[in-house]
Structure 1
Amino acid sequence: MNNKHNPGISRRSLMAGMGGVALAAPASAAFPDRPVRLVVPYAAGGGTDVVSRLVAQAITARLGQPVVVENRTGGGVVGGSEFVARAAPDGYTLLVATTSHTVNPTLLPSLPYDTERDFAPVAMFSEVPMALIVHPAVPAADARAFLALLRARPGAFTYGSAGVGSTPHLAGELLRLLAGVDILHVAYRGNGPALQDLVAGQIQFMFDPVSTASALVRSGSVRALAISTRTPSPVFPGVPTLEEAGVAGFDCRTWNAALAPARTPPEAVARLNEAIIAALAEPALRARFAELGANPGEPMPPAAISTFITHEIERWGDVVRRSAMRPA
């Protein structure tokens, strides 16, 4: 299978070439009539897992069937993604995809599935902005001063990430490219070890989801200088975005979306999309998301999510290529 992304071919045209609805598995007349499996390609307890379980619980009542979260780790999300790509296209097995889903086609050109052709977008779950956090000893009072410091001392500052191709790594490389700074990257096996070294002063800064960065900022272990998205975060009132600090076009976040195997019947996708969008509008769920520093996903139809994923593949593919990023 050809795994290379071709921006000139849309998912819609690919589906048409494959026969579209003619190849779809038959849907139950009363979908769903049995439990739905939500595959999370990350370990239990992490941000994606927590959000997924909240959504699963919220849509169980709406669907009238249990929505069961199944953690399938390994291979940098590839194992879980391949499992869903090969699952029966009947709406009963879904993948919780993240930003990594759209980075891997460029970073890992030998994927055992096609990132666009082998999946059918269902609904957005959430998005989480990141905070640019620094060790307290960094001599910069705000983001503009920090950027000036990076430019004045090329190669002197090191940032950490959860690993090559992780969203914090992408944010660091985007900062390097857009701000024109010379910074050094250290890849860790997860955000936890990177945060430990930041607190210890072994690295000087990193990007971290606001949900986990907030506790460290409150304790005084690190300082937050900027937000990675184009809109500020209520978790850090008064902290500017990087775009407001002078880095034009900077926008980076973690996001979660539900995807089904390709050729899943449109009526099943529509039923799932409707249930998820309705659940994300519930005040109780929105309140829990706010506690986590997460924003509910935009109520997009599947076609808009397909366009979003294509755009993300193109955008992060450019960053991967310009950074000469290589898998660890």
Structure 2
Amino acid sequence: MRQLSSRAAATLATCAMFLMPGTAAQAAEWPQQPITLVAPFTPGGTTDIVARAVAMQLQQQLGQTVIVENKPGAGGTLGAGIVARAKPDGYTLLLANVGHTAASALYKNLPYDFERDMTQITTVADVPNVLVVAKSSPINSVHELLDYAKAHPKEIDYGSAGIGTTQHLSAELLKKQTGMQALHIPFKGAAPMMTDLIGGRLTFALDSAASAAAQINGGGVKPLAVTSLERTRFLPDVPTLNESGVPGYQMSTWYSLAGPKDMPPAVVQRIWQAVKASMDDPVMRKTLEGMAANPGGMDPAEFQKFVHEETVRWTGLAKDWDSND
């Protein structure tokens, strides 16, 4: 077969670059239309709050409209499924969180795998969780909660925003490390869960500091402990679970951006750079501080590795318990 001349080869390569989807040339022109950011939980919860803050920053950084669409259901897997099935052109993104890494172990016949079937882009925020009880509860410490659970093993329950959510994972980790028995009551979002907790219809919850802060400040709930290894500057007087008789306990709720599998690498890089730049924006920093959140910006390769580690950790935990208990 006759070999192409260097000029002909270069011409063909240039043509291929413009014809093939997802090329660097196309990525340089992206975005040319509004971007949809799917928040897979109800309005008013932490995921929704983070999604809207990120959307505002992406609009500024990319010069294009970013629309937040709430698609709650099935512990965030419904919204994630919508994004997994979308065209991988960067115009449909997911505001994901740690709970998505356990989904494949908790939901049978899930039509996608979060680690393998999604493009992992970057982290946007990291928030410690807080163990809270109703203001009216007689329980005032982790020790009292564990003692009460031991004395009344059939009377303890806790709420979550759904199966596989951060509240669910946090509580199951606490149960595993303490031997405590507690019935899981899943809700369709953190807001209705918190309503029942404040009303005394739940024993406790482990919600993100961002979501729980308003109720703590408003006097609706009492914080017993935070889930980080060290005390958080946002709640400096609240001890860690590690300090409170649960050695080694560590859990945080991270939020991230993900998209459909096989997104153009150049588009992924552009989104990551936009998020990274937004972390230095004074408005974004103030928003994150108000949510008791640490800024994100992990690069895509590092984040892909992190998602794998988190998937191993949380799917391993999920296999140890019945998701319907």
For 2:311, the equivalent position in structure 1 comes to: 313
CA distance in structure 1 between the aligned counterparts of 2:185 and 2:42, rounded to whole angstroms: 22
How far has the Cα of 1:130 moved from its partner? Answer: 1.7
Q: Greater CA deviation, 210-219 or 309-318?
A: 210-219
Q: For the Cα contact (< 8 Å) 1:123–1:273, is it kept in 2?
A: yes
* Change beyond 3 A, Cα 1:73–1:185: closer
Q: Which amino acid aligns with 1:82?
A: G
CA distance in structure 2 between the aligned counterparts of 1:288 and 1:200, rounded to whole angstroms: 29
> The residue matched to 1:322 in structure 2 has which SS?
coil
CA distance in structure 2 between the aligned counterparts of 1:73 and 1:218, rounded to whole angstroms: 27
TM-score, structure 1 length as denominator? 0.83
For 2:59, the equivalent position in structure 1 comes to: 60
CA distance in structure 2 between the aligned counterparts of 1:135 and 1:45, rounded to whole angstroms: 20
CA distance in structure 2 between the aligned counterparts of 1:209 and 1:55, rounded to whole angstroms: 18
- RMSD of the alignment, in Å? 2.4
How far has the Cα of 1:85 moved from its partner? Answer: 1.9
Residues 175-194 of structure 1 aligned to structure 2 (within 5 Å): 175-194=174-193
- Asked if 1:157 is matched to 2:156, the reply is yes
- Asked if 1:25 is matched to 2:14, the reply is no
> The residue matched to 2:129 in structure 1 has which SS?
strand
For 1:114, the equivalent position in structure 2 comes to: 113
Between structure 1 and structure 2, the one with the greater Rg is 2
* Change beyond 3 A, Cα 1:260–1:192: closer
- Asked if 1:47 is matched to 2:40, the reply is no
Q: For the Cα contact (< 8 Å) 2:75–2:163, is it kept in 1?
A: no
* Change beyond 3 A, Cα 1:110–1:147: same
* Change beyond 3 A, Cα 1:264–1:163: closer
For 1:132, the equivalent position in structure 2 comes to: 131
Q: For the Cα contact (< 8 Å) 2:75–2:161, is it kept in 1?
A: no
* Change beyond 3 A, Cα 1:186–1:308: same
Q: Which amino acid aligns with 1:107?
A: L
Amino-acid identity (%):
37
> The residue matched to 2:319 in structure 1 has which SS?
helix
Q: Which amino acid aligns with 1:26?
A: T
Deviations 1:230-253 (A, max 9, x none): 232233221111112231232222
For 1:13, the equivalent position in structure 2 comes to: none
For 1:17, the equivalent position in structure 2 comes to: none
* Change beyond 3 A, Cα 1:90–1:326: same
For 2:274, the equivalent position in structure 1 comes to: 275
> The residue matched to 2:131 in structure 1 has which SS?
strand
Residues 1-328 of structure 1 aligned to structure 2 (within 5 Å): 25-27=22-24, 28=26, 30-35=28-33, 36-136=35-135, 138-297=137-296, 299-326=297-324
CA distance in structure 2 between the aligned counterparts of 1:167 and 1:33, rounded to whole angstroms: 32
TM-score, structure 2 length as denominator? 0.84
* Change beyond 3 A, Cα 1:103–1:69: same
Q: For the Cα contact (< 8 Å) 1:211–1:293, is it kept in 2?
A: yes
Runs of 5+ in structure 1 lacking a partner?
Answer: 1-22
CA distance in structure 1 between the aligned counterparts of 2:79 and 2:215, rounded to whole angstroms: 31
* Change beyond 3 A, Cα 1:105–1:218: same
CA distance in structure 2 between the aligned counterparts of 1:145 and 1:323, rounded to whole angstroms: 24
> The residue matched to 2:193 in structure 1 has which SS?
helix
